[in-house]
Structure 1
Amino acid sequence: MSEEHPSTTEDVSTATDEGAGTTGEAAAVPDAAGTDGRLAGDFTRYVNYVALAALVALALVAGIQFYGAVSRTINQWIVREYRSLFHAAFNLAVLLVAAAGISWQVRRLRG
């Protein structure tokens, strides 16, 4: 019994020493490299969100101006009797495009 006990103690201490050295070195390296990569990734993501917000604002302004221009064109070129029909058709087209975009975005977000 005394012969088996010392040999198991040596095996346990050897395994512990080998595991401690490997784990300590591996844990220190990713922290240093991971922090810089994560900060660069966060900055890039924020820049992309700012660019997206600017483009959405630009598209919103252009969309409102386009809608107004089409309405003025309908009022100028279409006979009074048919103006409401053309306005309704144009509004329906805008509504369908917006609904398709919303549906596509919701599917993309759900994943």
Structure 2
Amino acid sequence: MSETDTTPESESTATDADEDEGRGERVRRYANYAVLLVLGILAFVAVIQLYLSVSNAIRTWIEPEYRSLFQAAFNLVVLLAAGLGISYQLRRLYG
């Protein structure tokens, strides 16, 4: 037998190792997605609570005749921040 010949046993061992490595990568990727999902849900809840708290603070501290102006400005800032975040993510994905 020459040095370049491989036995079926060594080929199956290498294939099994590659499959195990691929499986481990897939599990790691799914775990990362799960962590990202949980953190995303936590961030979503925090953003909703922050939005409601700021709206409540505007109702408490701002005179009634200026409330709609402050609420509109706050909503505009939130909308611009969301638009920037969406455009950044779209550039990352398709850019």
Normalising by structure 2, report the TM-score: 0.87
Q: Aligned pair 1:45/2:29, yes or no?
A: yes
* SS at 1:58 equivalent: helix
Q: CA RMSD in A?
A: 2.1
CA apart distance, 1:30: 3.5
Distance in structure 2 (CA, Å) of the matches to 1:104 and 1:24:
50
Q: 1:99 to 1:23 in 2, by over 3 A?
A: farther
In structure 1, stretches of 5+ residues that fail to align are: 1-16
Larger Cα-atom Rg: 1
| Greater helix fraction, Structure 1 or Structure 2 | 1
Which residue of structure 2 aligns with residue 74 of structure 1? 58
> How many pairs are equivalent?
94
CA apart distance, 1:55: 0.5
CA apart distance, 1:26: 7.6
Normalising by structure 1, report the TM-score: 0.75
Which residue of structure 2 aligns with residue 83 of structure 1? 67
Distance in structure 2 (CA, Å) of the matches to 1:66 and 1:87:
14
Matched residues, percent identical?
49
In structure 2, stretches of 5+ residues that fail to align are: none
* SS at 1:34 equivalent: helix
